[in-house]
Amino acid sequence: MTDPVLRVADLTLVRGGQTVLHRVCFSIQSGSHTAIVGPNGAGKSSLVQAILGILPRQSGQIELLGHPLGAKGQLDPAVRQAIAYLPQQFMVDRRIPMTVAELVGLGWDRLELAWPWRDARPRHRAIESALAQVEAIHLRRQGLSALSGGELKRVLLAYCLVRPRQLLILDEAPAGLDARGEADFYRCLYHLQQQHRWTILQISHDLSMVQRHCDHVLCLNRELLCAGTPDIALTPEALGRIYGDDFVRYHHTCRPRLPDSRIPQASNAQKSSNP
């Protein structure tokens, strides 16, 4: 078995004086698709922020692509560039006069100093290719303020894939999209995952999506309560431990369409109910 893409050992995190993660341990393998599930306030976003080196940890170790993450978030720049992050909300003022191509280009730029003119052509080609892959090439000269929510998510995916990445971390990335936008986003994401062999770690509240698309689940509520394939981690018993014993999972089912002959006729129904 190859080295894990991510290894978290004994991670404890304190925020605002309270322990939000207690001795969390797990690892994720290359090419896997892992979901982090758990109730509001369970520490899911805090966990992701600790993995990205944004939040300092109280204790424990984090290793990304075989490299240790320093106590203050230090990480080999080449490793950092192999990781892409898609947040729940894109916190940049959309009135900033920036085009889609300029935003995607930021994902290509190296962290160290470089000669801008030497890289201009490959940079341009990488931006065009990334936008084409998310079917957003027609938006390249558009300002960010003119994008719909769904278009912006696709552009952010292009930002993620403008450079080769190995690990993609998503924090409720399709939040705010309508049902169609969410389905399109996931279709695009899974297609790209197959193509680029990404390892995905995503926070989600959508247990049906997790059941359908993820091969590993981490159930978190301040500590790691259980982990395994969706069949193991999303049983009613396991969900009861995470969300409380009275939790009942809602399944949306479509009523089958009745053949026309069996649909009650409003006029007949009315007739028979009239004296």
Ligand X SMILES: Nc1ncnc2c1ncn2[C@@H]1O[C@H](COP(=O)(O)OP(=O)(O)OP(=O)(O)O)[C@@H](O)[C@H]1O
Give the phi and the psi of residue 22 in degrees, each rounded to 5: -125, 110
Binding map of ligand X across residues 46-85, x = CB under 6 A, - = no contact: x---------------------------------------
Q: Which of 44, 153, 165, 213 binds ligand X (CB under 6 A)?
A: 44
User: How many residues make contact with ligand X (CB under 6 A)?
Assistant: 11
Residue appearing with tokens 């995607």? 104
45 belongs to the binding site for ligand X (CB under 6 A): yes
CB of 3 to ligand X, least distance (A): 27
CB of 35 to ligand X, least distance (A): 13
CB of 51 to ligand X, least distance (A): 12
Cβ distance to ligand X smaller for residue 49 or 133: 49
Handedness of CA 80, 84, 90, 94 (dihedral sign): positive
How far is Cα 76 from Cα 70, in angstroms, rounded to an integer? 10
How far is Cα 220 from Cα 37, in angstroms, rounded to an integer? 6
Question: Where does this chain touch ligand X (CB under 6 A) — which range of 12-20, 66-74, 76-84, 124-132?
Answer: 12-20
244 belongs to the binding site for ligand X (CB under 6 A): no
Q: Please check whether residue 64 is in contact with residue 50, taking contact to mean a CB–CB distance below 8 angstroms.
A: no
Cβ distance to ligand X smaller for residue 147 or 220: 220
How far is Cα 61 from Cα 40, in angstroms, rounded to an integer? 25
204 belongs to the binding site for ligand X (CB under 6 A): no
Q: Which of 43, 53, 107, 230 binds ligand X (CB under 6 A)?
A: 43
Cβ distance to ligand X smaller for residue 43 or 107: 43
Residue 87 one-letter amino acid: P
Handedness of CA 210, 214, 220, 224 (dihedral sign): positive
Cβ distance to ligand X smaller for residue 34 or 133: 34
Binding map of ligand X across residues 13-42, x = CB under 6 A, - = no contact: --xx---x-----------------x-xxx
Cβ distance to ligand X smaller for residue 195 or 208: 208
What residues form DSSP beta bridges with 64?
A: 6, 67
Q: Which of 210, 188, 211 is nearest to 201 (CA)?
A: 210
Burial class of residue 39, CB neighbours in 10 A (0-12, 13-18, 19+): middle
* SS3 category, 161: helix
Residue 88 one-letter amino acid: Q
211 belongs to the binding site for ligand X (CB under 6 A): no
12 belongs to the binding site for ligand X (CB under 6 A): no
Instruction: List residues near ligand X by CB under 6 A.
Output: 15-16, 20, 38, 40-46
